[in-house]
Amino acid sequence: MDKNVELRLLSSLEKIYHNDTLPQKDYKGFSILKNEKKSFQVAVVCDKEFNGALSVSSHIKNIRKYSVEYIKSDYPMAKGADDYYRFSEDEYYPDLLLPFADTVTFKKGVNLFWIELIPESTFVGTDNIEISVIENDSVIASKYLQIEVIDYDLDFDNFIYTCWFHTDCLMSYYNIEAFSDEYWRITKNFLKTANEYGMNCVLTPIFTPPLDTEAGKERPTVQLIDVTVENGIYSFNFDKLTQWIDMAHNCGIEYFELSHFYTQWGANYAPKIMATVDGEYKKIFGWETKASSKEYKKFLTQLSTELKLYLENRNLKDKTLLHVSDEPNFSMLRSYSKASKLIHKLYKGYKIVDALSDIWYYKLGIVSSPIPSNDHINKFIGKTDELWTYYCSAQNKKYVSNRFFCNDSIRTRVIGYQMFKYDVKGFLHWGYNFYYTQLSKALIDPYKVSDAGGKFPSGDSYVVYPAKDGTANHSIRLKVFYDALQDMAALNTLKNLTDKTTCVSIIEENSKHNITFSDYPHSDEWMLNTREKINSAIKDNIK
């Protein structure tokens, strides 16, 4: 052989930067439940470039293979963050996963690949997976990894997960018109991927969402409810909304999170709303419309009557989440309070949620279902009827979980254990596919600009990349966060077989660790071993 090729096996938690030394020991294997996805990594180290194939042989036939690609970060983290980040010397981070079948060009140096197994329910038991590097039909390097598929399913326990879906970003990136055939095709592709990796609730733009928009400016119109005004009377057509709901259901979506009724950061203005007025299509509300406007209140009142009837006729009342305004703080209490009072009156009996971190909004009865950030959640634990959480670019202190490029993957994944322990029922993030700069001023290429134009730490604003064919390319962070959801589901499964005390004792190693949203072992080995202990306990308690 005229070349030296070394094959190494790594867990899905390893993040290998350029010039990193590979771990000394190979990853040996893992167990999974029947309806669980599981990933590991393969490093192929070559002293010469050559064309060959990476083969993965298993009784499990549904295997996805990706090359791990590196993405530039000019702004990996804000100043003042805690010390639990790892920065790349060359400013490139492993994140993008590009699918391939077999043939691949192995470059000189370290070639990193991501392997994802998706078991079929027909296979249970142990399997020795053979991973081989092949050139000219000859195996030049190979290793084995042992897995066990446990004859039981994960229980996701009605957990709600939404990661805000921005169809206008898809329109801008692919240069397509709203509600065209291409719009629906590409939107469906991206939504299918979102659901496959845990998202069962979708931000639904009944009007163009007033999110991350520069004051006085507009985002592209994606309004699903058609409005007509004749002689001062509003009427509504829900055909596009019906098409959206039917598409989402087809993708596996169960919950619908209606876009906010007021602008972000205080509920001071109405969102952009378009209508056909006496035959002319034009904007009827927007930045020039104060939230307290009598005409806007009239509009919301008329809308609520028809929208509630529409949702309830489709049995969606209990599957609908409403928003007032995103991320108000204490200084915005007055304007938010007035807006919230009206929405709660118009939609009595509906779940109304907002991301906020000031508990006074809840204590004063201004919001019924707050969603605090994970660095402020301690104030809400045990105080609310139902606990949710979120994070965004601001959650970079106190060692709380997040999904930045420069996070170790365990910091992204540990939130599954945390949410289980504290009975969190839902998780929200603002950026599934936000491909604009901050305040939506300009379109970016997410393959080249990962930080919203230097405004949000890389990894905050999207977890999928737009492929040329209108599908979503995956990221490491997409899959690692889904591992967190699967960890939480595994604990739910074990709780149903035993009790919660048993589950917490495993993740806390019989009180050796006190798991909080800020305190947990910073150890891949702990995370991997703990999940194996959970699986072993499930197996032992299956009747």
User: Which of 99-108, 196-205, 389-398, 439-448 is predicted least confidently?
Assistant: 99-108
Please report the pLDDT score of residue 122 as a whole number: 74
In whole numbers, what is the pLDDT of the chain averaged over residues?
A: 96
The CATH H-level (homologous superfamily) assignment of domain 5-152 is Immunoglobulins (2.60.40.10)
> What average pLDDT does this structure show over 462-487?
98
Tell me how far apart the alpha carbons of residues 403 and 487 are, in angstroms, rounded to a whole number. 16
Q: Which of 337, 297, 165 is nearest to 285 (CA)?
A: 297
- Going from the C-alpha of 79 to that of each of 75, 190, 375, 437, the distances in angstroms are 10, 33, 17, 20
Side chain identity, residue 139: V
Domain boundaries, the chain: 5-152, 160-489
> How far is it, in rounded angstroms, from Cα 347 to Cα 305?
9
Q: What is the pTM of this model?
A: 0.97
Q: Among all chains, which residue has been given the structure tokens 């807006």?
A: 339
Q: Is the pLDDT of residue 344 over 70?
A: yes
Distance, in Å, from the CA atom of 65 to the CA atom of 98, rounded to the nearest integer, reads 8
pLDDT at site 47: 95
pLDDT value of residue 2: 76
Contact 365, 299 (CB under 8 A): no
Q: Which fold has domain 160-489?
A: TIM Barrel (3.20.20)
Measure the CA–CA gap between 325 and 388, rounded to whole angstroms. Answer: 17
Provide the token pair at 156: 């996701």
Output the pLDDT for position 3. Answer: 84
Collapse the DSSP code of 11 into the 3-class scheme (helix H, G, I; strand E, B; otherwise coil) and give the result.
Answer: strand
Position 308 scores a pLDDT of: 98
**Distances in Å between the alpha carbon of 36 and those of 31, 119, 461, 510, 514?**
10, 7, 26, 26, 27
- Does the pLDDT of residue 203 top 80, yes or no? yes
- Which residue in 225, 246, 244 sits closest to 236, CA to CA? 225
pLDDT above 70 coverage of the chain, percent: 100
Report H helices in 314-390: 333-346, 360-363
Report residue 168's pLDDT band, with 50, 70 and 90 as the boundaries.
very high
Going 355 to 361 to 363 to 369, the CA torsion angle's sign is: negative
Please give the pLDDT value at position 232: 87
Strands 233-237 and 255-258: unpaired
Burial readout 109-126 (b: 16 or more C-beta within 10 A, e: otherwise): ebbbbbbbbbbeeeebee
pLDDT of 543: 81
Beta bridge partners of 355: 371
DSSP structure string for 113-168: EEEEE---TT--EEEEEEEEEEETTEEEEEEEEEEEEESS----TT-EEEE---HH
Average pLDDT over residues 482-502: 98
Q: Is 422 helix (H, G, I), strand (E, B) or coil?
A: coil
pLDDT, one tens digit per residue, over 235-252 is 999 999 999 999 999 999
* Domains 5-152 and 160-489 alike in fold: no
- Taking the C-alpha atoms of residue 493 and residue 500, their distance in angstroms, rounded to an integer, is 10
Tokens of 196: 């496959």
Mean pLDDT value of segment 8-20: 97
Q: Which residue has the tokens 């969606």?
A: 316
User: 173-185: per-residue pLDDT in tens?
Assistant: 999 999 999 999 9
Categorize the per-residue pLDDT at 121 as very low, low, confident or very high, splitting at 50, 70 and 90: confident
Whole-angstrom Cα distance, residue 366 to residue 347?
14
At 330, the pLDDT band (50, 70, 90 cuts) reads confident
> Mutual orientation of helices 294-313 and 333-346 as an angle, nearest 10°?
40
pLDDT at 220 over 70: yes
Q: Which residues contact 348 (CB under 8 A, 6 or more apart)?
A: none
Residue 496 above 80 pLDDT?
yes
**The residue to which tokens 């290793």 are assigned:** 143
Which of 123, 126, 120, 100 shows the shortest CA–CA distance to 111? 100
Query: How far is CA 377 from its chain centroid?
Result: 19
**CA nearest to 115, candidates 127, 97, 92:** 97
Question: Which is nearest to 65 in space by CA: 110, 32, 113?
Answer: 113
Over the stretch 76-108, which tens digit does the pLDDT of each residue have?
999 999 999 999 999 999 999 999 988 899 999
Note whether 283 and 345 are within 8 A (CB): no
**Number of neighbours of residue 220 by Cβ within 10 angstroms:** 15
- Give 120's pLDDT tier (boundaries 50, 70, 90): confident
For the chain, how big is the Rg over CA atoms in Å? 24
CA dist 359 and 329 (Å) reads 10
